[in-house]
Amino acid sequence: MNWTDERVELLKKLWSEGLSASQIATQLGGVSRNAVIGKVHRLKLSARGRTSSAQPRAKKTPVSNGTKTTTRPTRTITATIGATALAAQFDVEPVARQMLRPTANVVIPISRKLALIELTERTCKWPNGDPLSEEFNFCGNEAGESGPYCGYHSKVAYQPVSERKRAR
Residues found near DNA in the complex (CB under 7 A): 1-3, 20-23, 31-35, 37-42, 46, 53, 55-57, 120, 122-123
Q: How far is the CB of 127 from DNA (least distance, A)?
A: 19
Q: Single out the residue of 128, 133, 131, 129 nearest to residue 149, CA to CA.
A: 128
Judged by beta carbon, residue 21 or residue 81, the one nearer DNA is 21
Q: How far is the CB of 37 from DNA (least distance, A)?
A: 5
A 10 A CB-CB count for 37 gives 17
Judged by beta carbon, residue 21 or residue 100, the one nearer DNA is 21
Judged by beta carbon, residue 11 or residue 157, the one nearer DNA is 11
Give the gyration radius of the chain's Cα atoms: 17
* Element housing 33 (H / E): helix 33-42
Q: How far is the CB of 43 from DNA (least distance, A)?
A: 8
A 10 A CB-CB count for 40 gives 18
Q: How far is the CB of 22 from DNA (least distance, A)?
A: 3
DSSP labels for 98-126? HH----TT---PPP--B-GGG--TTB---
Round to whole Å and give the CA distance between 168 and 152.
Answer: 16
Q: Interior CA angle at 57 toward 56 and 59, to 5°?
A: 85
Q: How far is the CB of 80 from DNA (least distance, A)?
A: 19
Contact, 110 vs 116, CB < 8 A?
A: no
Judged by beta carbon, residue 61 or residue 103, the one nearer DNA is 61
